[in-house]
Chains A and B, each alone.
Chain A
Amino acid sequence: MAASTDTLERESKLQGLGSSRLRKEDARFIRGRGTYVDDIKLPGMLFGAMVRSPYAHARIKSIDKSKALAVPGVVAVLTADDLKPVKLHWMPTLGGDVQAVLADKKVCFQMQEVAMVIAGDRYSAADGAELVEVDYEELPAIVDPHKSMTPDAPIIREDIADKDNVGHGPRTHPNHIFTWEAGDKAGVDATFAGAEVTVREEILNPRVHPCPLETCGCVASFDKPTGQLTVYLTSQAPHLVRTVVAMLSGIPESKIRIVGGDIGGGFGNKVPVYPGYVVAIVASIVTGVPIKWIESRIDNISTTGFARDYHGVGELAADKDGRIKALRFTALADHGAFNSHVSATKLPAGLFSICTGSYAIPKAYARVDAVYTNKAPGGVAYRCSLRVTEAVYLIERMIDVLAQKLGLDKAEIRRRNFVKAEQFPYTTALGWTLDSGNYHGALDKVLKAVDYDGLRKEQAEKRARGELMGIGISTFTEIVGAGPTKVCDILGIGLFDSCDIRVNPTGSAIARLGTMSQGQGHATTYAQIIATELGLSSDEIQIEEGDTDKAPYGAGTWGSRSTPVGGAAAAMAARKIRAKAQKIAAHLLEVGEGDLEWEVDRFKVKGNPSQAKTMKDIAMAAHTSNLPDGMEKGLDATEYYDPPNMTFPFGAYVCVVDIDRHTGEPKVRRFYALDDCGTRINPMIIEGQIHGGLTEAFAVAFGQAIPFDENGNHLGNSLMDYFLPTAVETPHWETDHTVTPSPHHPIGAKGVAESPHVGGIPCFSNAVVDAFAHLGVTHMDMPHTSYRVWQQCKALGLNER
């Protein structure tokens, strides 16, 4: 039966699931009334400025604070020796290691935190920081991770030199962190030995930085009389930060309040706990006044939360028709001087084992060796789940390499290897169960939309004229929504998430979640999920996150986990409320629960639709005496959602790039992105997330890298060199979608914001390499700057006129 106009009208008024509802967050941002951490100003607040090491590896012989302390306005200078009495000179990392809060006897990377100057304002703090005199004895530095484990390599981490394990299994060298492997090595080796065709390529994911527009920072405020610590902090995971701070400081978690506030972008940069936060907290405890620490952009790129630095080797074995029989991917992971890689405890290489991609590959083996170097610590997931970009980049590049070897079309080879729609749920050779997909359908839709055959024809004509045009394809599968607590924990805490909903008597509601928006629009989209579940207008549903005193515990927003985990918690909490509401409605209508059916915003009596109670009626009733016998008052529910599986968004992208062979400039002429994120909550926001993710992918593919010289000195750590594209460089994006709901998620949603980044990067690289494919080029490492592409042109003699 067709829905009545009335029903449709009521449904559209809710602005629930599927509506391109405008964002609730915007009201404050367009007025300049956001509350970012640097906007926080507390009475008596002092300002901390970090003194950082000019060397990548050096012993600290002495630190002289006297000149700094003489600067008017300077209150204190803190060094490791000052933190030692409270045992806060070292801290645990999210990777199972420890990290120096302030350098303890030696520095292990350039710009490492050595001292913090506390002063009345940022001007005197800066003056003081310049005058802290540190006497260093420089040591040889390791920059190339391939040299970390040579017999004569200098030992970077003397503090753990004699430990045979730093959290993830046996170590074989003082600069070795862990070796992780997955899959059937012997079986894979045997398949490779007997394979008709094999391909191998060395593929680098360079060291990059998420570089949100707001840097990291905090305001720590310890109230001595009450022992209460409040920290306003740029964190994507405030609850985890609270736990770490409690473990570190010994302050009961109940007396610590972390407030996320508004966050000016995160992209993974704001997951870890950084030394600056800890020193600010200690300084506040010591001085009894609030301390603000805000990093500069150069500090940000140099020291907090780099990503990638995976030196990979990809190998595929296949038959003559291009059907992949086995995969062997390895990576040497440069984790810098401390292993503060954000990873689940049991997954030191993150979700790298998603590297079988969208393909039915019978046998697979993956291995990651992580080492220390004299570079900044990190290894955050830059707009991706943990190590997923690295994995997807390898498989999406390698399938192109295989196609080239066999002379097969790059779309055709994908079709031959895709997991078929009828095979889902599909368990990969490395153990992940892909929940749902329609890979053939997505690729076919995209190829048709861009006239793929026409593009290939144009390319052939251009090649005949000596012009360089590349067509890149990426048919990626992401893994997001960490995750099932049996697989995923950080510091022992399972990666569930939570939602607490309270419905008010007049039918409005407030929901609090353990996630933390950094621009994703949670206040808008979570309300839509709840609106549809409860039949209440999303405009009357308030969303709160990020204040640990208010929100239920959750692991935060990273790894596209908000919709898969937080969104699921919201739906499930709402369903608890609806179940209670149904009982109340049955009581009010004097019928059995089974006689009722739900319609948009009300329970109605089957066969007698005029007999109905709206959720608003029920909300009021829930606060009266007229309830079923024994029923608690109120209409509230809390859900701690432990997902049964990850979700697996996918997509098919095509990129067309023209290359100027005389300058090396690559120009993205067209980019068509089809994403399937399952059920779509807010199409407008999804499209915005895809635009942003593609732009960050573009930045990584075409310009981002953190370069060092052989002594470990930074060669480009300001926005002069670090590539953040402007509106001029950024291409125009075309977006499209299919909808293949997740079968295990309460509303079938999968998460979307990272897909364009993860799937976009290989698409760009595939396009650039494809431009040279007819000349025998099988791989070019990122970033594809004009300079680097020109070098490829030159090697082929293409730059000459």
Chain B
Amino acid sequence: MIPREFEYHAPKSVQDALGLLAQLGDEAKLLAGGHSLLPMMKMRFAQPGHLIDLGRIAELKGIREENGTIRVGAMTTENELIWSKLLQDKCPLLVEGARLISDPQVRYKGTIGGDISHGDPGNDHPALMLALGASFVLRSAAGERVVPADGFFVGTYDTLMKPDEIMTEIRIPVPAPGTGYCYAKLKRKVGDFATAAAAVTLRIRGGAVQDVAIALTNVGPTPLKARAAEDSLRGKPLSDASIVAAAGLAMNICDPAADQRGDAEYKTAMAGEMTQRALHTARERAGR
């Protein structure tokens, strides 16, 4: 449980970090909170020659609202999300999700940007980002681009982020007042990844679903956006029956890998169950 040797770099600015990334190429890995990468290095599953620690870059921290968008610095930790008054008031789904991630100590170190860019379908932020319609700011020496969460997750540990890019910011459109939300997560114990989880945002106007987003954690090679389930609910009143039907559609897109948490059948069923629960809770929380 000892990592192999590597060189360590602690740039003070994104610019310096990008410079190092360009110079060191494939040999380098970005170190955010380290609670996914360092364990993999200790198991010697990952063996980068260089670590570029983003922990000293002040510009990557912080949560603020600007013109209807919440901007979260990529190196903002889970506990900072949980304790953010702004998020509690305007984006409680992110707070609810962060509270269900790992354990207190990990939440002091684990960052939203690290969680997203790792590309692990077991991580919770990807589905939350899909449900919130977030987008990610990726910067390289060549410049900056903003990519939507939807489409960002390409495969297991594989995202649209290029090796010369750093995720600097997460942008979340402030959910409209009255948006119902829920992150329903089934896990074996504190510290575990989800057996299955569902993130939902829901707007109801005039008795019908105005908009809904459903995203699933850890039931496929990537987080999954349950489009057919969303489509089945839009424009119609939300009933117990339509929730069951939507959950069925969500289950159709699941393709989980069997492990000690359960086989594919169970995980798929739990994705449906979590979808139902998240929709029910979101309905209770939604303004009419």
Q: Do chains A and B touch in the complex (CB under 8 A)?
A: yes
Binding site for B on A (CB under 8 A): 122-123, 126-127, 130, 296, 298, 662-665, 703, 707, 715-716, 719-721, 723, 725-726, 728-729, 785-787, 790-791, 799, 801
Q: In the complex, are the beta carbons of A786 and B195 less than 8 A apart?
A: yes
Q: In the complex, are the beta carbons of B190 and A790 less than 8 A apart?
A: no
Interface string of B175-197 (1 = CB under 8 A from A): 00000000000101111100100
CA distance A663 to B267 in the complex (A): 10
Q: A123-B2, A790-B266 are in contact. Are A785 and B244 (CB under 8 A)?
A: no
Complex partner residue of A791 from B186, B259, B266, CB under 8 angstroms: B266
Residues of A within 8 A of B273 (CB): 662-663
Q: A127-B4, A787-B266 are in contact. Are A707 and B191 (CB under 8 A)?
A: no
Residues of A within 8 A of B269 (CB): 790, 799
User: Least Cβ distance of A663 to chain B in Å?
Assistant: 6
Q: In the complex, are the beta carbons of A663 and B270 less than 8 A apart?
A: yes
Q: In the complex, are the beta carbons of B260 and A721 less than 8 A apart?
A: yes
Q: In the complex, are the beta carbons of B44 and A787 less than 8 A apart?
A: no
Interface residue B103 (Cβ < 8 Å from any Cβ of A): yes
Residues of B within 8 A of A799 (CB): 269
User: Least Cβ distance of A101 to chain B in Å?
Assistant: 23
CA distance A725 to B5 in the complex (A): 34
Interface residue B142 (Cβ < 8 Å from any Cβ of A): no
User: What range describes how many residues of B lie at the interface?
Assistant: 20 to 34
Interface string of B235-257 (1 = CB under 8 A from A): 00000000010000000000000
- Residue from the set A298, A664, A719 with the largest chain B CB neighbour count within 10 Å: A664
Residues of A within 8 A of B189 (CB): 703, 723, 725-726, 728-729
Chain B binding surface SS class? loop
Complex partner residue of A663 from B1, B186, B191, B244, CB under 8 angstroms: B186
Known: A122-B2, A726-B191, A799-B269. 10 other contacts (CB 8 A): A127-B2, A662-B273, A664-B266, A703-B188, A715-B259, A715-B260, A716-B260, A723-B189, A725-B189, A790-B269
Q: In the complex, are the beta carbons of A723 and B4 less than 8 A apart?
A: no
CA distance A416 to B268 in the complex (A): 47
Q: In the complex, are the beta carbons of A785 and B44 less than 8 A apart?
A: no
Can you list 5 pairs linking A and B with CB atoms under 8 Å apart?
Answer: A662-B273, A716-B260, A729-B189, A729-B190, A785-B188
User: Least Cβ distance of A600 to chain B in Å?
Assistant: 49
Interface residue B262 (Cβ < 8 Å from any Cβ of A): yes
Interface residue B261 (Cβ < 8 Å from any Cβ of A): yes
CA distance A723 to B186 in the complex (A): 16
Q: A790-B269, A791-B266, A801-B244 are in contact. Are A726 and B188 (CB under 8 A)?
A: no
Q: Please, which residue of chain B has its CB at the minimum distance from the CB of A723?
A: B189
Q: A716-B260, A787-B195, A787-B261 are in contact. Are A728 and B188 (CB under 8 A)?
A: no
Q: In the complex, are the beta carbons of A726 and B190 less than 8 A apart?
A: yes
Residues of B within 8 A of A785 (CB): 188
Q: In the complex, are the beta carbons of B195 and A720 less than 8 A apart?
A: no
CA distance A126 to B44 in the complex (A): 10
Q: A703-B189, A726-B103, A729-B190 are in contact. Are A787 and B262 (CB under 8 A)?
A: yes
Residues of A within 8 A of B2 (CB): 122-123, 126-127
CA distance A787 to B269 in the complex (A): 11
CA distance A799 to B244 in the complex (A): 13
Residues of B within 8 A of A725 (CB): 189
Q: Please, which residue of chain A has its CB at the minimum distance from the CB of B240?
A: A801
CA distance A192 to B270 in the complex (A): 45
CA distance A799 to B269 in the complex (A): 9
User: Least Cβ distance of B225 to chain A in Å?
Assistant: 23
CA distance A544 to B2 in the complex (A): 36
Interface string of B194-218 (1 = CB under 8 A from A): 0100000000000000000000000
Residues of B within 8 A of A296 (CB): 1
User: Least Cβ distance of B251 to chain A in Å?
Assistant: 13
CA distance A459 to B109 in the complex (A): 45
CA distance A219 to B5 in the complex (A): 26
Q: In the complex, are the beta carbons of B266 and A728 less than 8 A apart?
A: no
Q: A123-B2, A296-B1, A790-B266 are in contact. Are A728 and B260 (CB under 8 A)?
A: no
CA distance A734 to B270 in the complex (A): 33
CA distance A790 to B265 in the complex (A): 11
Residues of B within 8 A of A664 (CB): 266
User: Least Cβ distance of A217 to chain B in Å?
Assistant: 14
Residues of A within 8 A of B5 (CB): 127
CA distance A721 to B190 in the complex (A): 11
Interface string of B24-44 (1 = CB under 8 A from A): 000000000000000000001
Residues of A within 8 A of B190 (CB): 726, 728-729
User: Least Cβ distance of A800 to chain B in Å?
Assistant: 10
User: Least Cβ distance of B218 to chain A in Å?
Assistant: 13
Q: A122-B2, A123-B2, A721-B260 are in contact. Are A786 and B244 (CB under 8 A)?
A: no
Residues of B within 8 A of A122 (CB): 2
CA distance A785 to B261 in the complex (A): 9
Residues of A within 8 A of B44 (CB): 130
User: Least Cβ distance of A156 to chain B in Å?
Assistant: 26
Residues of A within 8 A of B188 (CB): 703, 723, 785-786
User: Least Cβ distance of B143 to chain A in Å?
Assistant: 39
CA distance A662 to B244 in the complex (A): 13
User: Least Cβ distance of A297 to chain B in Å?
Assistant: 8
Q: In the complex, are the beta carbons of A720 and B261 less than 8 A apart?
A: no
CA distance A716 to B258 in the complex (A): 13
Instruction: Enumerate B4-52 residues with CB–CB distance to A below 8 Å.
Output: 4-5, 44
Q: Please, which residue of chain B has its CB at the minimum distance from the CB of A703?
A: B188
Q: In the complex, are the beta carbons of B260 and A786 less than 8 A apart?
A: no
Residues of B within 8 A of A787 (CB): 195, 261-263, 266
Q: Please, which residue of chain B has its CB at the minimum distance from the CB of A705?
A: B260
User: Least Cβ distance of B256 to chain A in Å?
Assistant: 12
CA distance A728 to B192 in the complex (A): 13
CA distance A319 to B186 in the complex (A): 46
User: Least Cβ distance of A794 to chain B in Å?
Assistant: 8
Q: Please, which residue of chain B has its CB at the minimum distance from the CB of A130?
A: B44
CA distance A374 to B189 in the complex (A): 30
